[in-house]
C-alpha cells in the first residue's frame, strides 16, 4: 500500500506532462475553405483575417473562414501580405505589385521587370515593399506610389518591412537592410541562396533576422 502511495503522485505527474502538449496544441478556432485552384501564398493578421493568392484571384477570408471578397489578380499571386486593417498587397507572376482595399477594390498597381516573389506591408497599410525576380527591391506608399527602388544584383526571394527598416534576401546569398529612404544600412553575404527571411524579436536589444538559406550556412543576424 505504501508503495502505491509513493508511485501515485509520479503517475499523476506523468499524465499531466503527456497530456499538456496535446491540450496546448488545440486550436482556438478551426475552419476549411476550398476553391477552384491551388494556393500560391497565404498571410494572416492579428485580427484573424486571412489573405490568400488562390490561382488567378486574391481572396480575403474572415476569422470564421467566410469569404469577404474574391477579386482577379494579374497572374498567380506568388506572394501576399495583409495589414492589420485588411489592406492586401500581392506580388504576381505577371510582374505586378497590386494593392487592394479592405473591401477588395484594386487601388494601386505597379509593373516590375519580372515575377514578384516577395511582398510585405506595414501594420497600418500605408507602406509596402516588394522584391522581384528582376533583382530590384521597391518601396511604395499608399496614395503616392513608388518611393524608391534599388538594384540588389540578383533575384529577390524575401522582403520584410519592420519598423521603418526594409530587409531583403536574394539569389546571390546577400541579406541587406535599408532605411525608409532607401539608404543601405548593412549587407552580409551568406553561403547559399536566400530563399526566405524571417524577422524575430528579442527585447530589449531590437529585431533579429533569420534568413532561410539554401546552402550549408544558417545565420541569425541583428
Tell me if 165 sits within 8 A of 178, measured CB to CB: yes
Domain edges within the chain: 35-151
Query: Among 6-15, 78-87, 142-151, 162-171, which stretch is predicted with the lowest mean pLDDT?
Result: 6-15
Share of the chain above pLDDT 90, in %: 63
Query: CA geometry: angle at 221 spanning 219 and 222, to 5°?
Result: 165
- Residue-wise pLDDT for 142-167, tens only, equals 999 999 999 999 999 989 999 999 99
**Strand pairing class (127-132; 116-121):** antiparallel
35-151 under CATH 2.130.10.10, yes or no: yes
Beta bridge partners, 139, equal: 129, 148
Residue 207 has pLDDT above 80, yes or no: no
Is 66 exposed, middle or buried (CB count within 10 Å of its CB: 0-12, 13-18, 19+)?
exposed
- Residue 220 pLDDT: 42
Amino acid at each position: 500500500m505504501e508503495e502505491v502511495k509513493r508511485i501515485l503522485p509520479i503517475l499523476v505527474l506523468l499524465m499531466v506532462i503527456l497530456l499538456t502538449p496535446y491540450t496546448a496544441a488545440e486550436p482556438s478556432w478551426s475552419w476549411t475553405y476550398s476553391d477552384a485552384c491551388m494556393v500560391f501564398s497565404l498571410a494572416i493578421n492579428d485580427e484573424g483575417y486571412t489573405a490568400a493568392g488562390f490561382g488567378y484571384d486574391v481572396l480575403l477570408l474572415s476569422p470564421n473562414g467566410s469569404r469577404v471578397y474574391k477579386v482577379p489578380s494579374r497572374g498567380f499571386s506568388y506572394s501576399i501580405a495583409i495589414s492589420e486593417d485588411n489592406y492586401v498587397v500581392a506580388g504576381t507572376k505577371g510582374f505586378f505589385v497590386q494593392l487592394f482595399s479592405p473591401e477588395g477594390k484594386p487601388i494601386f498597381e505597379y509593373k516590375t521587370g519580372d515575377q514578384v516573389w516577395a511582398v510585405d506591408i506595414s501594420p497600418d497599410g500605408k507602406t509596402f515593399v516588394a522584391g522581384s525576380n528582376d533583382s530590384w527591391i521597391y518601396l511604395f506608399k499608399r496614395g503616392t506610389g513608388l518611393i524608391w527602388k534599388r538594384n540588389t544584383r540578383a533575384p529577390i526571394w524575401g522582403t520584410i518591412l519592420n519598423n521603418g527598416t526594409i530587409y531583403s534576401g536574394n539569389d546571390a546569398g546577400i541579406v541587406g537592410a535599408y532605411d525608409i529612404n532607401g539608404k543601405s544600412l548593412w549587407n552580409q553575404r551568406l553561403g547559399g541562396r536566400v530563399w526566405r527571411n524571417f524577422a524575430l524579436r528579442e527585447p530589449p536589444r531590437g529585431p533579429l533576422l533569420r534568413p532561410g538559406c539554401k546552402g550549408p550556412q544558417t545565420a541569425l543576424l541583428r
